[in-house]
Structures are given as C-alpha cells and as structure tokens.
Amino acid sequence: MSNGISMERVDQIIDSYGSKRHHLIAIMQDIQAEYKYLSPEVLERIAEKLHIGVAKVYSVATFYENFSLEAKGKYIIKVCDGTACHVRKSQPIYNAIREYLNLEGKQKTSANGLFTLETVACLGACGLAPVVTINDQVHSKMTPESMIDLLKQLEKEDAANE
Amino acid sequence: MSKMTREMLNARRIQAKMAADAHTRTVLICAGTGCIAGGSLKIYDYLKTECEKRGISVLVNLMDDETQCAGHAINMKKSGCHGFCEMGPLLQIEPEGYLYTHVKIEDCDEIIEKTIIGGEVIERLLYTLDGVSYAKHNDIPFYRQQHRVVLENCGTTDAEDMDEYLAKDGYAAFEKALFEMTDEQICREIMDSGLRGRGGGGFPAGRKWDSVRKQPKGKKYVVCNGDEGDPGAFMDRSIMEGNPHSVIEGMLIAACAAGSDEGYIYVRAEYPLAVTRLKIAIAKAEEAGLLGDNILGTDFSFHLHVNRGAGAFVCGEGSALTASIEGKRGMPRVKPPRTVEHGLWAQPTVLNNVETFSAVPLIVRKGAAWFRSIGTENSPGTKAFALTGNVVNTGLIEVPMGTTLREVIFDIGGGIKDGKKFKAVQIGGPSGGCLTEEHLDLPMDFDSLKKLGAMIGSGGLVVMDEDTCMVEVARFFMHFTQNESCGKCVPCREGTRRMLEILERIVANEGTLEDLDLLEELSATITETALCGLGQSACKPVQSTLKYFRNEYLAHVVDKHCPHCNGRKKELQIDPTLCKGCGKCKRQCPMEAIEGQIRMPHTIDTTKCIKCGACWGSCPFGAIREE
C-alpha cells in the first residue's frame, strides 16, 4: 500500500490486458480512473510487468495531457476561465480558493489532500457564468463568498463521514 | 450461439423492417452530448414512467413484440444527435414529425396527454422564427436546406439497437461487397465515386484502399480516425454516437477491399459517450456474427477494437495516431514511407476518418454514380459541418459539397446573432484559414478552399461578427497549436512559440511594424519545414488574417488601440484636467467601474475595470488614457 493505491489492484488491471505493451495507455487510463493519478510506484510496477523501461512508461505518461503524476484531492475543483466567466470575474473566485486553501506557487492540492484546484478553458455553460465544477458537478453564478461557504460545507460533510 | 448466415441476416432484416413499419407512434428523445447536458435522459425516464402509469406500454427496442402488450403501445427511443443543439433538449414525435424544442420535465405531462395520446400539437414547444412557428421538423429552415446523407440516421434511430440499423438496409452494402464484389471491384467503385477523405487532406479514399490492396499479402490493418480535436468541431462525435454501425460497416467493406482482418477505431478521450456507443455496437455486431471469424459463413474474418486517446491533438495526424495505438508517445514520423505501406505496426494500413467510413456503405449500396450526382465534379458527395460562433442556429449540418458559405451561414445558420454584421468565418479549425465577406458566394469544396489558403479540414465553421478582433483570433489559434505541438521537430516546437510571443505582444499593443514582417517570414519557414500537417498548417490562421485583416494588426501596432478587443494590458485612467464629466463613458462601461458626478471629473475603479476600452471609444474629449 502506498497513498491508498493497492498494488494488487494495479496488477489486476495490467493482467486484464494480458500484460501486453501496446495496452500501456489503456492500462494507465484504467489505473488513473481508479486512483486519479499515477504514482512513481505505479509507473515502476507497470514497467516491470510489461518488461519495458521505466523511462519509456514515464515518457508516455508525460506526453498525454490526461495523465497526472501528482496525487489529487478528494474534491477536484475546476474554475472556468473561459471568456464569459473571465469577464464575470472568475479570477477573484480562483484567488479566493487559493488563499483559503493556502496554496502557494505551483501547488494545486491542499495540504490535507482534500481539494485540488484547477482551471478549465470553457465548460460551455456561459449562461450560468461564472461556473465552478466540483467533481464534475456544476455550480453556477458563483462569488468568492459563496465559493468559500461551499468549501466549508464540504469540509464539514467530509469530517462527518470520517 | 449459432453462426449467422447470409439468409439469416436477410430474414432478420426483413423482420426488423416489418417491425419498423408496424410501429405507429414513436417518440424520439435526443441523447446526443448536447441534449444530455440539458437533461434529456431525465425527460426520457420521466416520460417512460408516466406513460406506463397511464397504461401505455412503452417499447424500447424495435423488435419488442407489440402484440404481447395489453392495449395502447408506443415506441420510445433515445436517438443520436439531431444537430440542432442550440434548441435542445429536442423531442420528435412520429408519425406526425413534430419537433419540440427546449423541452423541460414540466412539459412532459402535457406532451403525453395532448400529443402522445391525442396526436395534437403543442404550439409553445415548437420552433419559431420571425413569428412563424414550425410544427414539423422537415419544414424548419435549418433542416429544409440541408442534404442529410451520412447524418440521415442520426436523430432518427436508436444507436444502441442494431435492428434499427438493419431495418434501414444496414449491412446490406457489406453483404454486397462480401458476396458479390471482388476486392478490386470494391476499390474501383470507391475510386469511381470520387470519395475524398473527410478528415482534412481530401485524399481520394479509393486510391488509398487500392494501394493497400496491392501490397504483398500479409497482415494489414484498417484504422478509423475518431480523434476529432479541433475546437468547435463535433461532426465525427455525432456520427459515432448516433450511427456507430455505419462506421463499422464502412470499415468492414474497407477490410474486404484491402485484405485486412483487424481494425482499430481511435476515439479521443473527451468523447466517452462515443466510446460507449461504439463498444455496444461492436458487441452487437459480434453477437450477430458480423464481426469475428468466418463472417457470414465465409473465410473472411475481421476483429475490431476501440482505443481511447489520452488528450493529444497531434494524434489526429496519421503516423502519430498509429504510434499511439501501439502504446507509444503520439509523435508523427517522417514520410515516406506512407501509411498505406508502413502504418500500424509497420504493416500496410487503410486510415480514414469517421465521416469517410460512414459514407462508404451508402456508396456501395447506391452506386458511385449516385454519389457523383451530389456535390461538385472534383469533390462529390456531401460534407458535415459544425456551425458555431456568433451565428443564430449553432449545430451540426450536412450539405452537398459546393454549397456556398452564404447558404450555410445565412440560410441554414439563420445569419449573425443579435443582428450584427458578418465579419469572417474560420474554416478547418486551427489548421485552416479565415474567409471574409468577399468569399461568401464561393462554392466550398476541397480545391476552391485550398486555392484561398484555407481548407475544409474536418469541417468546423466558427462564425465571427463585426465585434471580433481578428488578431486575437489568430493569437487564440496559435496558442492552441503551440500548446499541442508535440515537440519533435524544431520548426514547430520553437517556431510556434516565437509566433505566439509576437502575437501576444501585438495584442497587448506593444508590437512593431517589423513584427508583422517577422510573422510572415516565420509562417513561410514553418509551413515549409515542419514535419507533419499540424506544423505545416499551424500558420494558416496568422497568414490569412494578415492577408484579409491587416488593418486590424495595424490598429494594434500603429494606433495602439483596437476598437474590438480588450487586449490592453495597462491600466486605464481618466485625466481629470480633460474630463468634462459628461457621463458618456459611465454609460458605456459594462462593469459599472466608472464613478463620478455629472460635470465633475469621473474616475475608473481599476479593481472593477476589465480594460475593454468601451469608455475609450466613447470619450469625446480624449480624456481616457493608458497608464
């Protein structure tokens, strides 16, 4: 076990593809679908089982935009920064979240591993701008204040479920 | 499971046709990505439950036996994309052909009572234009002017029910190819039809197939390119979601012609619904013995797989796509050798896009002459376009090749939104160029557009109105291409980055006249030296905007002020010595960032200001300036 990733499950996924090299992308997609990211241990395990170099696995994982090598939080927040949302002030919402979660520099995930903050180009929900999604659920017409309230609520819910 | 024979397939098709004729009342709920986002699946569930509560039996599959139902029965289907996404969620009711737009859960009870049971039309749910409401879907101008061939079954059939495809002569073309034609004859038919690749290049599909056929016997592949990555293009998505069997049938025919026994469909990661529908369609075709070993009792075998992309635009390029299927970084390689000789796993490969394969069954069934009767001499057939941007009717359309832009944008698209003036249309996404008012009456086909430095590309049409800044448009597309450059060749990797830097400088009003020359020089170099199509066409938006909208570049470079865009990076301030307090700027400001008493100098709240420049243009005293 490392970071909640079960290596048995990873093996299972690799085996389900017959440990074939050309399924590398599909294998990584399935693992990421379960754990939201690919840890160094996972990349090494894949390399070992497919009999290819770790560098090769790493090169493919970094080439495609969909793969993440960083652990992501339980809640993935995406702030829309499309034109319509930008004009209706999505940036102050983004800044407020960063401040609330104490994110510094390139850091995207809060220290407690609960939230990951990302921006997204356009969700196509411009009539509801500014729009924020949390785990793909759309929250419309947000303000920095309502955003922070929402985060506090999620934290509470999470604590209650622990 | 017993093996399907040709006779059994025919019997099943006849049964399906009879079942289709027997159904009187059919309700079609659009289940394309657009309408699903609008809640169409909830509407489907609600209608189904409510109908059943009222004692109406709901048949979901075509072959469900109506005679088993007690009393009244209707057929209710989730259809593919209707194309009129702007008006979704859409609901079509047969046999009357009523099309309801913007349907909500609250409308459902009325729809059941009045239309499903009573056959009566509900006026307020109809599409209206200029005060005229249109009850039937075929009367709506958006549909009336189209010629739907490839998209015909999208929106009228349930993609997950193979019997519906069979009822519409599905797999009849494959049967004909398999039993009645030689491989050479199939290639000849496709060559005679003049079908050209719908993915952008416009290479004759028949010639491609014939080259693969002529390669020495051995392992050959058929690959379908469903990696539709252009922003603002969704034709292939709609076909894969709405009519997946047509793609499979097209690939089967290609496999017969080229002598292949294995195929791949590569779908981009952002199209999960297309992947699901294709997988269901493949499973049903396998179950029916139309895919697998010894198909329909012959010695022809074909196995089909679906691969998901992982978010790389460059994988739409042939050699990058095959590299990605092999599980490698999706980077293009130097050609020749071409894909027909040296494609997937270095074997001869037929590679076409979704729309191309989807047209194949129709050509084989109806003949090359029929296909040639549509479109123009050198570009026969129809083309699907995704119409987006500042146009009244956004959506998916299909028109014969050679249709003019004016017909597409004004007749089908309903003209420009909010009564504004047309300025330009970007055709072919980031690899295409823009066309202007002077090109509106030009027949669109592969060759006419190429001459103008644009291209049909995959078929994205982004319409822009008079308020659009074309420099900003060029910057947007360059940003896209630069971000997606795979980094293998220097001209594209370094060149697009420098181009982007220059464009950003110009948009921010910090460019010089020399920058324009530099853009032109870089464009020419990158176009000539880049390794693949992505790099070679990356500069088209810049070149075409420089050609047709040079004055807008000059506005940024010389006047340091663009009347259209908010490219100004610096703060705007009002000079109190010049401001007379007339309040014009205050009224113009969209952000209510300007404050001040009448006849007193006004001020701009820089925290609210978005630097759009609206105040700048309105000030009669030139009091607003950049700091």
| Among candidates A22, A25, A59 on the partner chain, residue whose Cβ is nearest the Cβ of B310 | A25
Q: Is the pLDDT of residue B433 over 60?
A: yes
Residues A138, A112, single domain; the answer is yes
CA distance B157 to chain A (A): 27
Residues B324 and B454 in one domain: no
* Domain assignment of residue A15, given as a range: 7-63
Instruction: Check residues B115 and A3 and name the one with the higher pLDDT.
Output: B115
Give residue B567's pLDDT: 46
> Is B328 at the interface with chain A, CB within 8 A?
yes
* Shared domain check, B123 and B39: yes
Establish if A56 belongs to a structural domain: yes
Read off the CATH number of the domain in which B249 is found.
3.40.50.11540
* B496 and B537 belong to one structural domain: yes
The pLDDT of residue A83 = 59
**B337 vs A2: which has the higher pLDDT:** B337
Tens-place pLDDT, residues A34-57: 988 999 999 999 999 999 999 999
Asked if B342 and B440 sit in the same domain, the reply is: no
Supply φ then ψ for residue B284, to 5 degrees. Answer: -70, -40
Q: Are residues B306 and B244 in the same domain?
A: yes
Whichever domain contains B521, its CATH number is 1.20.1440.230
In a domain, B262, yes or no: yes
CATH number at residue A47: 1.10.10
Residue B564 has pLDDT above 60, yes or no: yes
Give the span between the Cα atoms of A70 and A38, in whole angstroms.
7
Residue B321, CA distances (Å) to B63, B110, B305, B353, B580 in order: 39, 49, 14, 11, 63
Domain check: are B388 and B284 in the same one?
no
Assess B3–A contact: CB distance below 8 Å, yes or no. no
Domains held by chain A: number: 2
Interface confidence, given as ipTM, is: 0.82
- CATH number assigned to the domain comprising residue A94: 3.40.30.10
φ and ψ of B249, to 5 deg: -65, -40
Is B2's pLDDT higher than 50?
no
On whether both B242 and B347 belong to a single domain, the answer is yes
On whether residue A140 sits in a domain, the answer given is: yes
Check residue B612 and give its pLDDT.
Answer: 67
Provide the mean pLDDT of chain B: 89
Of A43, A63, A83, the residue at which a domain comes to its end is A63
- One domain, residues B26 and B125: yes
Q: What would the mean pLDDT of B352-371 be, rounded to a whole number?
A: 96
Distance, in Å, from the CA atom of B56 to the CA atom of B64, rounded to the nearest integer, reads 14
B14 in a domain, yes or no? no
Chain B positions in Cβ-Cβ contact with residue A60 (cut-off 8 Å)? 327-329
- Reply yes or no on whether the pLDDT at B70 is more than 70: no
- The structure's pTM equals 0.86
Question: Domain check: are A87 and A154 in the same one?
Answer: yes
User: Does some domain include residue B445?
Assistant: yes
* B349-353 sheet: strands from edge to edge: B303-308, B262-267, B221-226, B349-353
Question: pLDDT at position B546, please?
Answer: 96
- Kindly state whether residue A68 falls inside one of the protein's structural domains: no
| Same structural domain, B213 and B244 | yes
Cis peptide before B348 (omega within 30 of 0): no
For residue A124, list chain B residues with Cβ-Cβ distance below 8 A: 37
Sign of CA dihedral B141, B142, B148, B151: negative
Residue A50 Cα, gap to closest chain B Cα (Å): 11
Q: Each residue of B185-233: pLDDT tens digit?
A: 999 999 999 999 998 778 999 999 999 999 999 999 999 999 987 766 7
The CATH number for B437's domain is: 3.10.20.600
Q: Is residue B594 part of a domain?
A: yes
From B372, B396, B429, the end of a domain falls on: B372
Question: Measured between alpha carbons, how far is A49 from A57 in angstroms, rounded to an integer?
Answer: 11
Is 80 exceeded by the pLDDT of residue B339? yes
In a domain, A49, yes or no: yes
CATH number at residue B618: 3.30.70.20
> Per-residue pLDDT tens for B277-325?
999 999 999 999 999 999 999 999 999 999 999 888 898 899 999 999 9
State percent of chain A over pLDDT 90: 54
For residue B1, the model assigns a pLDDT of: 43
In this structure, the answer to whether residues A130 and A58 fall within a common structural domain is no
Average pLDDT score over residue span B586-603: 84
Number of domains forming the structure of chain B: 5
Q: CB distance B308–A25 less than 8 Å?
A: yes
For position A70, what pLDDT does the model report?
86
Determine contact: A68 vs chain B, CB below 8 A: no
Place of tokens 């971000």: B483
- Same domain membership, residue A89 and residue A115: yes
Question: Is the confidence at residue B99, as pLDDT, over 70?
Answer: yes
Is B329's CB within 8 Å of A23's CB?
A: no
Do B242 and B321 fall into the same domain? yes
Per-residue confidence (pLDDT) for residue B568, from 0 to 100 = 46
CATH code for position B93: 3.40.30.10
**Whether A97 and A46 share a structural domain:** no
- Is B157 within a domain? no
Question: Are residues B479 and B442 part of one domain?
Answer: no
Q: What's the pLDDT tens digit per position in B480-527?
A: 889 889 999 999 999 999 999 999 999 888 899 999 999 999 999 999
For residue B534, pLDDT over 80 is answered with: yes
User: Which of A63, A87, A110 is the last residue before a domain boundary?
Assistant: A63
Same domain, A25 and A90: no
Q: In 3D, which of B537, B567, B574, B533 has the Cα closest to residue B553?
A: B567
A90 & A143 share domain: yes
Arithmetic mean of pLDDT, B14-25 = 85
Q: Considering B372, B403, B422, which residue would you say is the last residue of a domain?
A: B372
Between B73 and B310, whose confidence is greater?
Answer: B310
pLDDT classification of A153: cutoffs 50, 70, 90 = very high
Domain co-membership, A83 together with A136: yes
How many C-beta neighbours within 10 Å does residue B160 have?
A: 18
Residue B144 within a domain = no
Cα of A21 to nearest chain B Cα, Å? 7
Domain membership flag for residue A59:
yes
State whether B327 and A60 contact (CB < 8 Å): yes
Domain for residue A1, yes or no? no
- Choose from B227, B230, B308 for mutation: most chain A CBs within 10 A: B308
The pLDDT of B590-615, averaged and rounded, is: 81
Task: State the pLDDT at residue B391.
Answer: 84
Please report whether residue B105 resides in a domain: yes
Of A22, A23, A64, the CB nearest to B310: A64
**Pair (A107, A148) in one structural domain:** yes
pLDDT above 50: residue B389:
yes
Which candidate from A21, A63, A87 shows the least CB-CB separation from B610? A87
Q: B258 and B391, same structural domain?
A: no
Neighbouring CB atoms inside 10 A of A160's CB total 7
pLDDT tens digits, residue range A77-122? 989 876 566 767 788 899 999 999 999 888 889 988 899 998 876 6
| Same domain for A151 and A109 | yes
Q: What is the tens place of the pLDDT at every residue in B446-481?
A: 998 888 878 887 788 888 888 888 998 898 889 888
Domain span holding position B622: 572-626
- Whether residues A22 and A81 share a domain: the answer is no
